[in-house]
């Protein structure tokens, strides 16, 4: 449904939310997961994806 990234260039095809640092990234991902009733997954390259299963 969405992605939260520090480096936005790594993501395309979904709405991307840019974060300044890891703490902000985690907070944004948490809020998105609550609002969208979805799960946050770590891609391992600094990108979190928010997926509704």
Q: Which strand (E) or helix (H) includes residue 52?
A: none
Which listed residue (2, 11, 17, 48) binds another protein by CB under 8 A? 48
2 in Cβ contact with 51 (< 8 Å): no
Count of residues interacting with another protein (CB under 8 A) = 17
Which listed residue (6, 8, 41, 46) binds another protein by CB under 8 A? 41
If you search the block for the tokens 């709405």, which residue do you land on? 15
If you search the block for the tokens 């979190």, which residue do you land on? 48
Instruction: List the x/- string, 14-33, binding to another protein by CB under 8 A.
Output: ------------x--xx--x
């Amino acid at each position: 449904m969405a992605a939260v990234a520090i480096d936005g260039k790594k993501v395309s095809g979904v709405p991307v939310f840019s974060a300044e640092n890891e703490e902000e990234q985690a907070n944004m991902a948490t809020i998105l997961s609550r609002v969208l009733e979805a799960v946050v997954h770590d891609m391992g390259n600094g990108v979190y994806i928010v997926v509704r299963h």
